[in-house]
Amino acid sequence: MALVVLVLVAAACGGGGGGDPGLAGPGDGGVRVAVGEDIWPLTGRGPSSKAFAAGEVNVNVYEPLVALAPDFTVRPGLAERWELVEPTTWRFFLRPGVRFHDGRPFGADDVVWSWSREFLPTSVTRNLSAVRKVDDLTVDFVLSAPNLRLPEQLVHPEGPIVPRNGHSDDQPPVGTGPFRVVEYVPRQRVVVERFDGYWGERAQVERVTFRFTPDPAERAEAVAGGGADVAAVAPFGPVPPPVRVVRAPAGVVHQVVFNPAGMAPFDVTAEPAVRRAVALALDRHRYVAEVLGGNGEPGRWLSPPAVLGPSAALVAPPGHDPAEARAVLDEAGWRPGGDGVRARGGRRLTLTAIAGPAMGEAALRFVQSQLQAVGIEVAVKKASDTVTYREHRDRGYDLDLTAPNQNDANPAFLVTGRATEAQLQEILAAPTREDVQRLAAQITQAVVNEEHGVVPLAAVSRAYALAEGVELAPLHPSAINQPWTALSSR
């Protein structure tokens, strides 16, 4: 069974031979893939960094112990099986015969090292006391409190297995995945080649060059113009014909999140009436049609709907009623001024909306237009890169347009930040997946339908533009878990 593998890890590697690897095409053993912004240089260096363990693209160099399946459940990976041997101890039985790219054998010592560092996901490490070697192919994860979600959490991209005493930006990078790095030029490209000693399904192509191209329109045009063979395209705007587009099941959720800090002058969304009016003003069906070009489903949940299973029905579809939004603001004392913008006590109802590179300009303009129609003025700050987006957040905002990705098998992964401590403990102790789905849906119902703490806009499908002769299947709904072993060309 093929593992849905994890993220590239590399520091600046040496060149990969003569010529420009970006010019390699399907006919000469290479495929060119246009992807988004390179955030790896921004995530630090050395053993404590998150570099290459999460990002816009996963180039399948490193792997976790277990893998996220396309249905958001757990698959065996470097661990063949696992069991709860004590209430606070999970035992993982490792796959024999696995080797790192430099020929070193993989074993328990590597897992202990990889999961004993400070940068690993807090969703797991908050209850993780120790990782202990039982024998060369067996490890125990010892917890301070019971956690039945642990195997589901270990699929997280920030938990790759690296060789003992190594880290995720070693030179050269060394993982166990189906590809190995031959070149990395920050913010330009990363080049990988097939690792023929891989334990799992062999990659179909010999060489892949990922070019970092932050502008989604430029990525799509690269395929249309012959400059790329594959492009990860954002679901904003048309793709130039005759480019073929394939779409994964929905794995990303577009949301409007209110500033939780509530510090002046960004404190007006602490008012329930304002949050409710914003929620009522936004037409999710129009968002999917006009902003996403039909590439998604109207927003309702904080997670992709498939994650919640039958319990998704517990969350009511958010209403769209501009007249009711105006009435809510009227009742709260926000009255329209001469220019149509509401005010109260001399304060204009002006909200600052920010968005990062994952969200298109059209999404911000849509929100701005819809809120303007009910008397809410919106100042837009669109960031084209991660650094600028962080600066916008630090300077203050009212609305944040985000696109969280379900890259964890825990059904409650994307709602844990909204859960109380009691709810978190209930999630960790829930004996079945159905129980966790119900808890996650209940939290979502409270946040979306009652508190209006988040406005879900759409569940979104990842889209890829393909040149003639190139295939990419199967597609994974979690963008950073896409297996590039599925890439083929003729």
Contacts of residue 313, defined as CB under 8 A and 6 or more positions apart, other chains included, come to 441
Instruction: Output the CA angle 13-19-23, nearest 5 degrees.
Output: 95
Q: Do the beta carbons of residue 38 and residue 56 sit within 8 Å?
A: yes
How many whole angstroms from its chain centre is CA 474?
Answer: 18
- pLDDT confidence of residue 101: 96
Q: State residue 402 phi and psi, 5-degree precision.
A: -120, 165
Residue that has been written with the tokens 């994307």 in this structure = 414
DSSP state string for 256-271: EEE-SS--TTS-GGGS
Q: State residue 329 phi and psi, 5-degree precision.
A: -70, -40
Nearest one of 398, 462, 457, 461 to 255, comparing CA atoms:
457
Dihedral of alpha carbons 338, 342, 348, 353, sign: negative
- Separation between Cα atoms, residue 114 and residue 47, nearest integer Å: 10
- pLDDT confidence of residue 237: 59
Q: Which amino acid, 317?
A: P
Nearest one of 128, 121, 66, 127 to 93, comparing CA atoms:
66
| Digitized pLDDT (tens) for each residue of the chain, 490 residues in all | 333 333 333 333 444 333 343 334 444 448 999 999 998 887 777 766 666 656 678 889 999 999 999 999 999 999 999 999 999 999 999 999 999 999 999 999 999 999 987 667 777 777 899 999 999 999 999 999 999 999 999 998 778 899 998 887 788 889 999 999 999 999 999 999 999 999 999 999 999 999 999 888 899 889 999 999 999 886 665 666 778 899 999 999 999 999 987 788 999 999 999 999 999 999 999 999 999 888 889 999 999 999 999 999 999 999 999 999 999 999 999 999 999 999 999 999 999 999 998 888 899 999 999 999 999 999 999 998 989 999 999 999 999 999 999 999 999 999 999 999 999 999 999 999 999 999 999 999 999 999 999 999 999 988 899 999 999 999 999 878 889 999 999 8
Q: Do the beta carbons of residue 184 and residue 13 sit within 8 Å?
A: yes
Q: State residue 85 phi and psi, 5-degree precision.
A: -90, -20
- Separation between Cα atoms, residue 72 and residue 70, nearest integer Å: 5
Q: Which amino acid, 119?
A: F
Residue 453: CB atoms within 10 Å: 17
- Separation between Cα atoms, residue 176 and residue 104, nearest integer Å: 10
Element (H, E) at 339: none
Q: What distances in angstroms separate CA 297 from CA 234, 334, 400, one per listed residue? A: 15, 32, 20
- pLDDT confidence of residue 172: 84
Q: How do the residues of the chain divide into helix, strand and coil, expressed in percent and rounded to 5?
A: 30, 25, 45
Q: Do the beta carbons of residue 208 and residue 30 sit within 8 Å?
A: yes
| Exposure b/e, 105-137, CB count within 10 A at least 16 = b | ebbbebbbbbbeeebbbebbbebbeebbeeeeb
- SS3 per residue for 369-392: HHHHCCCCEEEEEECCCHHHHHHH
Q: Which long-range contacts (CB under 8 A, 24 or more apart) does 79-84 make?
A: 82/151, 84/148
- pLDDT confidence of residue 450: 96
Domains of the chain in start order, with CATH, are 21-241+467-489 (3.40.190.10), 250-461 (3.10.105.10)
